[in-house]
Structure 1
């Protein structure tokens, strides 16, 4: 994760929604999205996972991904005005915001583990499992339950200090989601992120977009494709402000263009193999590889360790607690990262 480093508001859709689902309807020529699950624009834009999301003067947030630009603003709690069509929301942005998973349910699971109530797989406690819960557990194993409702295994997260810290982190980070971002953009931006704080990363990423991307709307530019960035020499990239990172970015672009790094094929690998393949790119160490796994490929079992998370581990008694959360390790890591950076701990 990079070092530390933006707010929302005013027509409504009142139909009730289940957690993790969204409903769309038009009012006064505006598209209104109802989202009942955890969903904080401010936190998602300001937690170090996305470098092109900005808060605009009217309180809306702008997200740019691939060829898409979205302006989104919270009108009233759980109701969001968006600038795209219903089709675009359903086909692109719903997945981008990971709305197929129920983060409220994930947090319930995390808190049960932290409180010691969950010591066995979901639906089961030390007192045993009911017939109804057994049927639910079978459905979960067969994959017919919302993946956001799958549980973590009951593993020991460590000391009382770790439990206190992680409980506070969950409260502070509530509303965060793991954005499902473009793997190519994540590969390059997290190479750039090394030894830079969030404002500096944002500036570097926007400069690359203006120099090598193409216009997508008004004065906005796409993040450059591998072909666009591949036309830049290492000297060009240094001039663009990448410094010692220029050869790393050039190596990544060359590997993708040559097919040595097939990003689509990487998405089919298991977590470990994906991590190892990313490590073959110059300048990609363990932290950067885990960031790309988490934010570019949606591998929520990966929990990157940077200076902030190292401090969090120290506060947890010196033992890394995140692996104990299994497939949700990266979600808990994001709560901890947000808590650490915004509490200046």
Structure 2
């Protein structure tokens, strides 16, 4: 099959949308999703395409080439961004895992986020293999006090994790219903959780609920939009705004010269 232009492991697994995939010395990646363990490399991607669970997880049925072409036809700058990382895909992650992970991501860097998530799973998840654990359920974490999360060293985020878990378990935040709710209503419901602002809400919507129209905005994205797309907002990119966001974010982070003072 050869290298798949529309599915690049590094672009997909190291773009900041997920935190449980570890790069191995041979260049492959090992991760856990929904309690399933996978080691994936360029060599076994053809087998992954044939597996219904992983095909869905990696969003391999969606025609990203067509989406890229449509987005690129609208704007030359977006075409450049899309061309820069054509193999990036939006994963179909477990919604609760995504919500909890992006609460942990606040004011944090990727190595630290990964460390906290790993400790959280090791301490409160269920073992699924030698050294591998599930992501702990909302029910498991809702039963805890914030102080009981001290060993995972997540700091001020502990109380937000517990509040999120309790609201999900009580049905105050119904993650399943948020997959089809109006985007603004879904965002508002997520923001009812203590510590969840617009960025964490939109990350949860895009990466956990596969709401491809969601468009997370952090400092980098706000800067990128001001510089590369002045006067335009997420709605300019239509129903695949979230995919456009991934292209723009990665392109901007990898090309700081675009933002050099003139």
1:72–1:81 Cα contact (<8 Å) kept: no
Alpha-carbon distance in structure 1 between the residues aligned to 2:224 and 2:193: 28
Q: What 5-or-longer segments of structure 2 have no aligned partner?
A: 258-262
Structure 1 residue runs of 4+, over 4 Å off?
34-37
Q: What are the equivalent positions in structure 2 for 1:135-284 lying under 5 Å apart?
A: 163-164=76-77, 166-284=78-196
State the SS of the aligned residue for 1:69. Answer: strand
Match of 1:60 in 2: 28
1:37–1:102 Cα contact (<8 Å) kept: no
Q: Report the CA distance between 1:238 and its aligned residue.
A: 3.2
2:212–2:241 Cα contact (<8 Å) kept: yes
2:49–2:60 Cα contact (<8 Å) kept: no
Higher helix share: 2
Match of 1:80 in 2: 45
Alpha-carbon distance in structure 1 between the residues aligned to 2:232 and 2:111: 28
Alpha-carbon distance in structure 2 between the residues aligned to 1:279 and 1:316: 29
**Structure 2-normalised TM-score?**
0.91
Q: Report the CA distance between 1:47 and its aligned residue.
A: 0.5
- Residues 180-235 of structure 1, C-alpha deviations (whole Å, 9 max, x = no match): 11110011000110111111111111110111111111101111111222233110
Match of 1:295 in 2: 207
RMSD value over aligned CA atoms?
Answer: 2.1
State the SS of the aligned residue for 2:135. Answer: coil
Alpha-carbon distance in structure 1 between the residues aligned to 2:102 and 2:254: 21
Check if 1:312 corresponds to 2:224.
yes
Q: How many residues align?
A: 257
| Equivalent residue in structure 1 for 2:58, among 97, 106, 120 | 97
Match of 1:7 in 2: none
Alpha-carbon distance in structure 2 between the residues aligned to 1:252 and 1:317: 34
2:179–2:211 Cα contact (<8 Å) kept: no
- Give the number of the structure whose alpha-carbon radius of gyration is greater: 1
Q: What 5-or-longer segments of structure 1 have no aligned partner?
A: 1-12, 14-33, 115-162
Alpha-carbon distance in structure 1 between the residues aligned to 2:19 and 2:222: 22
1:186–1:296 Cα contact (<8 Å) kept: yes
Check if 1:338 corresponds to 2:216.
no
Alpha-carbon distance in structure 2 between the residues aligned to 1:227 and 1:284: 19
